[in-house]
Amino acid sequence: MTTPRSERPEMAAYGVPDALEGVLPWSWAEERLSACRNFWVVSVAPDGRPHAMPVWGIWLPDPGTFTFSCAPTSRKARNFATNPQATVAVDHTVEVVVVEGTVSPVDPVEADEALTAYVAKYWDTEPERDEGKAFVGQNLVLELTPERAFGIIEDEVDFSQRATRWVW
């Protein structure tokens, strides 16, 4: 995956400078995405209503995608069928990473690397991992391809000086 371009988010009213000095490196975001256990996934219903739900998922630095699953009949699956735009956020509210992009269904066979990493992350033993992989594979497996991301450290000093937007 290509490393995204670093920019500043448009937040001058909060003291965020235009200069790129002090932006967070993409590796900072990937560390948090890789370590996170629970993520927030936001979809949008056909009537425009947002829908946020916690999910388990896996960030794979190479190819740079987020993979998760849900029931094919779930609200988020129905939302993604009509609008594939999504937001994924780590569950940490001080060292924040938010990724925006497009969600698409993935054949579980094609997503084998992601699903293997997924079950290794959430289950400890081989029998549990086998059961977990079978369960996830029975559901809708989705992959978010990022378009832009934001990194913010929520404290008095770092918020304005380190706020970063990454664009692919």
The CATH number linked to 76 is 2.30.110.10
Domain range for 42: 24-93+143-161
Could you identify the residue written with the tokens 């060292």?
A: 95
Domain count, the chain: 1
Q: Judge whether 104 lies within some domain.
A: no
What residues are paired with 6 via a beta bridge? 166
In a domain, 29, yes or no: yes
Domain membership flag for residue 115: no
Q: What is the pLDDT of residue 70?
A: 96
Is residue 153 in a domain? yes
Does the residue 112 lie in any domain? no
What span, in angstroms and rounded, lies between the C-alpha atoms of 119 and 140? Answer: 15
Residues of the chain with pLDDT under 70: 1
Q: Report how far Cα 99 is from the mean position of its chain's Cα atoms.
A: 5
pLDDT of residue 111: 86
The β-bridge partners of 67 are 58, 143
155 is a domain residue: yes
Q: Is residue 50 part of a domain?
A: yes
Cα(37)–Cα(163) distance, integer angstroms: 23
* 98 Cβ contact list (under 8 Å, min separation 6): 87, 88, 89, 90, 149, 150
Alpha carbon 134 to its chain's center: 23
pLDDT of residue 1: 66
149 assigned to some structural domain: yes
